[in-house]
Amino acid sequence: MRVRIQPSNIQGILTPPSSKSMMQRALAAALLAEGTTVIHNPSRCDDAKAATGIIMKMGAIIEDKSRDVIIRGAGMKPPGRIHCGESGLSLRMFSPIAALNPKKVEVNGRGSLLQRPVLNILEGLEALGVDCKNPGKGLLPIELKGGYKKEIAEIDGSLGSQFLTGLLMALPCREENTVLQVKNLRSIPYVDMTLELLKDFGIEIEHQNYRQFTIQGGQNYQARRYNIEADWSSAAPMMVAAALKGKVRMNNLKKDSLQADKDILFALEACGAKIHWEDNSLLIEHCELKAFELDATHCPDLFPPLVALAVHCDGISRIKGVHRLEHKESNRAKALIREFGKLGVEITLEGDEMVIPGGKLRGGLTHSHDDHRIAMALAIAALAAKYPVEIVDHECVAKSYPNFFRDLQKIGAGVAQFYFRGQFV
């Protein structure tokens, strides 16, 4: 399937989807809490559905009330097998939680998740005494025979913070205290998000400059009402769209959010877009755009929308943190270079920096690489292209933002009919 985006001016008001990162964390906390947790403003993207399926498999009772999701924790039961869909966070977060139980569990997924490395999960769990097997030889599936047997372990954080998040959520539930020595930690803002959510659910964890985490055992999660804030990762492409071709007001954004992708504001300010806050509403408006530089090491999901912004700025933009892009839904560095190259922009790499020359896109046929963030970046960049841009396999946006193209059309973008096998549908 494919979609065609016409060069368009846009204007309107949008409310970004709820944060899938916070939704998945809240679902895990609700599973581990005794009693009833009510999640307000839930996310229902594909990753959130994967996490919901996992906690149901682990014994949670769920009632969907449209605006709320009600979760009744009844004590975690051995799941036997969990399926993470294509969610990297669910894989890395629920594996340590499943390992709390001494019975064997198989962890698997589908699609792009089958190509993402799992050795850091295995090494970390084995360091804490969990028995692990890996029929996939570095990839999924993995088999865990849980029960943590060690109290001190060194954890490698160079591939990101998601596995550490899983350990921080699981280890308070064991009886013994645990000390984690963490080296080369990336995506630190996401660790702050985890620690804040844990505190909201009654769990306290101490750390020394993110290098050593001391986790007291025997803690109990407290069921509660919890509101999921809007997702800065999903808001970022729409903000770039406004900066490129119009004016958009984004509602329900948390001004003091800990989400790493809030750093999109630094790029928009640096390139000259107009930004104005009014309570939790943010207005972004087009202005003449100049090249910018940004270190995205701790917010790698911003790379695709940043590239969509940079290709229309006057001058050469630089984005640091390319090493964080390899193990995503696609190898995003290669995908961005290839797809924007088809549209006439020659992106290069200089060490850990991506170098993007400004200038209008030609238009043409592109592919999403089945990566939701690549699809959204191509669509946004198309708004200011010379000719239309077509995107093959665009439906992957359901992973994080199911209504992305509908919302884009709502604010005035020319979104053509969908195709299937060459036919209009």
Contact (Cβ atoms closer than 8 angstroms) between residue 207 and residue 214: yes
Contact (Cβ atoms closer than 8 angstroms) between residue 385 and residue 414: no
CA 89, 94, 99, 105 torsion-angle sign? negative
Nearest one of 108, 3, 98, 36 to 413, comparing CA atoms:
3
Contact (Cβ atoms closer than 8 angstroms) between residue 17 and residue 252: no
CA-to-CA distance for 402 and 45, rounded, in angstroms? Answer: 6
Among 46, 47, 261, 301, the one annotated catalytic = 301
Nearest one of 227, 224, 284 to 254, comparing CA atoms:
227
CA-to-CA distance for 31 and 292, rounded, in angstroms? Answer: 43
Residue 53 CA neighbour count, 13 Å, CB half: 19
CA-to-CA distance for 196 and 218, rounded, in angstroms? Answer: 19
Catalytic status, residue 301: yes
Q: Which residue matches tokens 């900066």?
A: 243
CA-to-CA distance for 83 and 95, rounded, in angstroms? Answer: 11
CA-to-CA distance for 209 and 88, rounded, in angstroms? Answer: 25
Nearest one of 188, 240, 279 to 382, comparing CA atoms:
240
Residue 97: phi, psi to the nearest 5?
Answer: -70, -45
Instruction: Quote the DSSP letter at residue 408.
Output: H
Query: Strand (E) positions, 327-386?
Result: 348-350, 353-357, 364-367
CA 26, 27, 31, 34 torsion-angle sign? positive
CA 40, 60, 171, 95 torsion-angle sign? negative
| Catalytic annotation, residues | 301
